Amino acid sequence: MWETKARLLEVIVCRNRKVSNGAMNSHLRILSVDGGGIRGYLPALILAEIERRAGRPAVELFDLVVGTSTGGIIAIGLAAGVPVQDLAEFYPRYGRRIFGGSEQPEWSKRLFGTGATWSERLMGPANTIGAPFGRDDRWGGNARHRAAGLEGVLEEVLGDTMLSQARLPLLVTSYEAQMGLPVVFSSEEAQHDPARFDLPLRSVARATSAAPTFFAPAMMTWAGGPRQFVDGGVWANNPAALAITESIRLAASQRWTGTSVFLVSLGTGMAASTPAFAGEGSWLAAFSDLAKIATSITGSDILATRALGDSYARLQVIDDRIAGAMDDPSPSRLEALQQAAQSLIQSESGEIDRIVANIKI
Yes or no: say if 116 and 324 are a contact pair by the CB < 8 Å rule: yes
Would you state the pLDDT for residue 21?
43
Would you state the pLDDT for residue 139?
43
Q: Give the rounded distance of the alpha carbon of 159 from its chain centre.
A: 20
- Judge if pTM exceeds 0.75: yes
Yes or no: say if 316 and 238 are a contact pair by the CB < 8 Å rule: no
217 phi and psi angles, rounded to 5 deg: -55, 155
Of the candidates 131, 124, 126, 100, the residue with the CA atom closest to the CA atom of residue 110: 124
Would you state the pLDDT for residue 324?
73
Would you state the pLDDT for residue 280?
59
CA distance 264 to 237: 15
- The CA-atom distances, in angstroms, between 25 and each of 28, 33, 64, 66, 361 are 7, 22, 12, 18, 7
Q: Which residues of the chain have pLDDT under 70?
A: 1-25, 101-142, 257-259, 273-297
Would you state the pLDDT for residue 328?
93
CA distance 193 to 195: 6
Would you state the pLDDT for residue 298?
74
Q: Give the rounded distance of the alpha carbon of 312 from its chain centre.
A: 18
Would you state the pLDDT for residue 132?
42
Of the candidates 37, 20, 10, 288, the residue with the CA atom closest to the CA atom of residue 171: 20
Maximum separation of any 2 CA atoms in the chain, in Å: 58
Would you state the pLDDT for residue 274?
58
CA distance 64 to 31: 6
Give 181's strand partners. 176
CA distance 143 to 353: 42
Yes or no: say if 160 and 235 are a contact pair by the CB < 8 Å rule: no
Of the candidates 360, 88, 25, 66, the residue with the CA atom closest to the CA atom of residue 241: 66
